[in-house]
Structure 1
Amino acid sequence: MAQKARKDQAKANAAALRNLHIGTLIVNTLFVLFSLLFKRRSLLLYVILSIPAFICEFILESTGRPRYDPSTNSLKSAGQDLSASGLTEYMFDVIWVTWASVILVTFFGNWCWLLWSVVPAYGAFKGFSLLGAARGMAGMQQQAQQQQTGGAQITGNRKQRRAA
């Protein structure tokens, strides 16, 4: 039963990676051909703003690709679950926003690169909310420690408690 789940995850990961690579190939080829043949677009902005998407795609490929034993062709590792939430989901979002930006820039002009500013803004928002949650957890831990030590300080008279 567990082997079937691993095989299903391996198939889903392979399909997701295949679709991701085909989409990247289509979008980037379309941009380069359109930019070279019809209307000039900023290749410098394209390269700079596409680097995070290429890095995310490389990470998804290296962690999510199923591994097979070459001699027996049996599944060694199904790879990380590419449908998982969290950082994996954010990496897919970075890739999709980059694709949308590239397509819009291809047809409407360089000012559409402003759409890509959603990526760092969303990352800053998530990081700030994560930082706030960490501070809240630290505050709860500190409050729990004060309650534990406060219970031990009740012994003794009032003058001793004020001195502590």
Structure 2
Amino acid sequence: MAKQALKTQASRNTAILQRTHLIAAGVHAFHLLLRFTFVRRSFWAYLLLSFPSLLIQFWFERVGRPTYVDGPNGKELRRAGEDLEAKGLTEWMWDVTYWSWGCIAFTTLFGDWAWWFFAVVPLYSAWLAYTTFTGARQGLMGGAGAMPADGVSSGAQSKRQQKMEKRGGQKMQYR
């Protein structure tokens, strides 16, 4: 049972990548089939706005696909690949991929105006960056929400602390 965790991750990555490619093929085939048979949709908008999901899928394929080598006991795992269920940037890239698929499906069903749903991603990212920047700036400048310089809290107590002090029990001592 050597490298069992790596083998588990490799099989999980393989399953995730296979499912991702099947869903992507279905979404794109559905769009192209309806585009070429029934209704005309903007092909350039489709190419431009499906590019992020295709690029992310290519990246996932490069970093997440396990590699095997022939060994004395058959195929041996050489590299399990990066964890495709990791938090942070990987999770954000999955969100962009899912949102792209949703926009392609909406555009296929409702028309070219549905590409405007794709604008939610950069708008949300810009809003998140702005709120992060302003929060960090207030914290650095000693603005609202920052601790006072002497380390004493602003006097807000939890209900438990208030009840304890009311009963004459433990009192909080601030230094």
Using the aligned pairs only, state the percent identity: 37
Q: Which residue of 2 aligns with 1:125?
A: 127
Q: Which residue of 2 aligns with 1:64?
A: 64
Structure holding more helix per residue? 1
1:126 CA drift (Å): 4.0
**Counterparts of 1:18 and 1:98 in 2: how far apart (Å)?**
18
1:114 CA drift (Å): 1.1
1:33 CA drift (Å): 0.7
Q: Which residue of 2 aligns with 1:157?
A: none
Letter of the aligned partner of 1:121 in structure 2?
L
Q: Which residue of 1 aligns with 2:117?
A: 115
User: What is the CA RMSD across the aligned residues, in angstroms?
Assistant: 2.2
Aligned residue pairs: how many? Answer: 140
User: TM-score, normalised to structure 2's length?
Assistant: 0.72
Q: Which residue of 2 aligns with 1:5?
A: 5
After superposition, the Cα gap between the structure-2 partners of 1:66 and 1:106, relative to the gap in structure 1 and judged at 3 Å, is: same
Gaps of 5+ in 1: 141-164
User: TM-score, normalised to structure 1's length?
Assistant: 0.76
After superposition, the Cα gap between the structure-2 partners of 1:116 and 1:74, relative to the gap in structure 1 and judged at 3 Å, is: same
Residue aligned with 1:73, SS: strand
* Residues 1-164 of structure 1 mapped to structure 2, 5 A cutoff: 3-71=3-71, 72-128=74-130, 131=133
**Counterparts of 1:74 and 1:92 in 2: how far apart (Å)?**
29
1:115 CA drift (Å): 1.0
Larger relative contact order (Cα-Cα within 8 Å, sequence gap ≥ 6): 1
**Counterparts of 1:70 and 1:126 in 2: how far apart (Å)?**
47
Q: Deviations over 1:84-141 (max 9, x none)?
A: 011111111111101101111111111111111122123323444555577689779x
